[in-house]
Structure 1
Amino acid sequence: MLHQTPATAAATATLLVVDDDRDIRQLLAESLGARGYRVETAASARDMDQILARTAVDLIILDVMMPGEDGLSACRRIARDDGPEIVFLSALGEEHDRILGLEVGAGHYLTKPCSPREILATVRAALRRRGGAATTEADQYVFDGWRIDLASHELFDPEGVLVGLTDGEFAVLRVFIERPRRVLSREALLSAARGPDSDAYDRAIDVQVSRLRRKLRAGGDEIIRTVRNEGYLFVPRVARS
């Protein structure tokens, strides 16, 4: 089982997990998201194509055996020099399976079950090979005197004091930072913060937002506004530090 821990290094790449197993998608999204990566998930190659059409992705973690188009076929189709890195994560672990996966365009091939440390190490190695955004250290934003570092999971109040956030609180705050001054429904917040396959209830978002409000009240200003029957609005303007 993947273990969720706070981010310890800069990691701003966008990852896409493609697997028809819902539990694997959710566990990978939570584990890698806790390390600071932005994680999208897809249950099929068709869903993957839809995400790739609207989102710039740095790396794809791809299953081989899926309903519809399998991972090998999808990899052949999307693998290119300027495209995302591809890491196979498959239950097929024979030598000929691994060789075939590498021959169709993947940079790495991992066999299930695989430890979270090995997955993380492979993701980092693949992104270093790509030379993408995963190693940048500039991922800090400011709002109303507050400063947040999305890579290190640190939030500082206007006095420069570090404010402790749980992983869940930080995930929700990240969504607000990336989508400021827009009304976000509970469903949108839940999907962006926890992944589209989360089985959490809307009430979980209400609790996280309530806790965030209490921690963001240092200056007394309203930072998260409730919009009746619609959701929540992050009021301040957000700027890259």
Structure 2
Amino acid sequence: MKVLLVEDDRELAAKVAAALSADGMIVDTVHDGDEAAFVGSTEDYDAAVLDLGLPGQDGVSVLRHWREQGRRLPVLVLTARGRWSDKLASFDAGADDFLTKPFLHEEVALRLRVLKRRALGHSSPILQAGPLSYDANADRFTLDGAPLNLTAQEKRILAYLIQRKDCVVSRNEISEHVYARDLDPDSNTLDVLIGRIRRKLGVPLIQTERGRGFCLTEVDAV
């Protein structure tokens, strides 16, 4: 899961980014509204955490800009402001959730996972593909009921695929959503990772669609 964190308090931003990274997320952090408006409109993210009180454009203006640009990523507003008028302005601009400071860093991670799951149309946090099961809230895979041992990068790739089960996703899509924006892995790196995931699964869940990308589908459908 790739997240854009917009927070002008650098100490708080570092703590939240560390907590989200420890939860297996890729986090890009910006500290002012003007950069946030640009980055959120030009890069692909699974979700965003957005502070309201920012230098440059304020958070509501940033969010309104994203929505006007057609960006539909789930947005969790994170702010010290607890007034109803601030909440109303945030939701009117297109916010999906609102969390008032102080807060538990773990709650930010949980809310982001729920927002992403709902945005993808999954009503349950448990996603299933044949013998493979993924608990989206806990970010945990099991295979035939037993824990599946994956590296952090393998887990991010497999989570992206199972959340889009039966859909072909391109190499670029996978790279954009599982790597930070300052990293640009080559095609061979992704092939190696997909190969390792396939060996750990031991069943033909991940199909290669030549010239298009990869598709995770039920074993019976192969």
Q: Does TM, scored on the shorter chain, surpass 0.5? A: yes
CA distance change for structure 1 residues 190 and 58 in 2, over 3 Å: closer, same or farther? closer
User: How far does the alpha carbon of each residue in 1:34-85 deviate from its partner, in whole angstroms, 9 at most, with x for none?
Assistant: 526797988422554689xx98x6853467235xxx235627969xxxx965
Alignment partner, residue 18 of structure 1: 6
Name the structure 1 match of 2:193. 208
Match of 2:86 in 1: 105
C-alpha distance 230-236 of structure 1, shift in aligned 2 (>3 A): same
Pick aligned residue for 2:159 from 164, 167, 174: 174
Structure 1: runs of 5+ lacking an equivalent: 1-11, 89-97, 111-117
Matched, 1:231 2:219: no
Instruction: Give how far 1:227 is off.
Output: 2.4
TM-score (norm 2): 0.58
Deviation at 1:223, TM superposition (A): 1.5
> Aligned residue for 2:149?
164
CA distance, structure 2, for counterparts of residue 205 and residue 194 of structure 1: 11
Indicate which of 96, 103, 123 corresponds to 2:108: 123
Give the whole-Å Cα distance in 2 for the aligned partners of 1:169 and 1:145: 18
Q: Does 1:188 align with 2:173?
A: yes
2:140 is the alignment partner of 1:154: yes
Q: Work out whether residues 108 and 122 of structure 1, in 8 Å CA contact, stay in contact via their aligned partners in 2.
A: no
8 A contact 1:15–1:61 mirrored in 2: no
The code of the aligned residue for 2:128 comes to V
Query: Would the alpha carbon gap of residues 76 and 179 (structure 1) be closer, same or farther in structure 2, given more than 3 Å must change?
Result: closer
1:206 partner SS: helix
SS at match of 2:86: coil
What are the ranges of 5 or more consecutive residues in structure 2 without an aligned counterpart? Answer: 66-73, 88-98, 119-123
Flag the structure with higher helix content: 2
For the residue of structure 2 that corresponds to 1:182, the secondary structure is coil
1:26-175 matches, within 5 Å, as 31-32=19-20, 34-35=22-23, 43-46=35-38, 48=40, 59-61=49-51, 64-65=54-55, 70-71=57-58, 74=61, 85-87=76-78, 105=86, 108=100, 120=105, 123=108, 138-158=124-144, 160-175=145-160
Which amino acid in the other structure matches residue 200 of structure 1? D
**Rg larger for:** 1
Q: 1:229 to 1:19 in 2, by over 3 A?
A: farther
Larger deviation: 164-173 or 40-49?
40-49
Distance 1:17 1:26 in 2: 10
**Residue-pair matches, total:** 184
Closer, same or farther in 2 for the Cα pair 1:178/1:72, shift >3 Å? Answer: closer
Question: Is the alpha carbon distance of 1:62 and 1:33 closer, same or farther for their aligned partners in structure 2, counting shifts above 3 Å?
Answer: farther
**Displacement after TM superposition at 1:233 (Å):** 1.9
**Secondary structure of 1:233's aligned partner:** strand
**Offset at 1:179?**
1.1
Separation in 1, partners of 2:14, 2:169: 22
Distance 2:208 2:148 in 1: 23
Q: Percent identity?
A: 20
Q: Tell me the SS of whatever aligns to 2:218.
A: coil
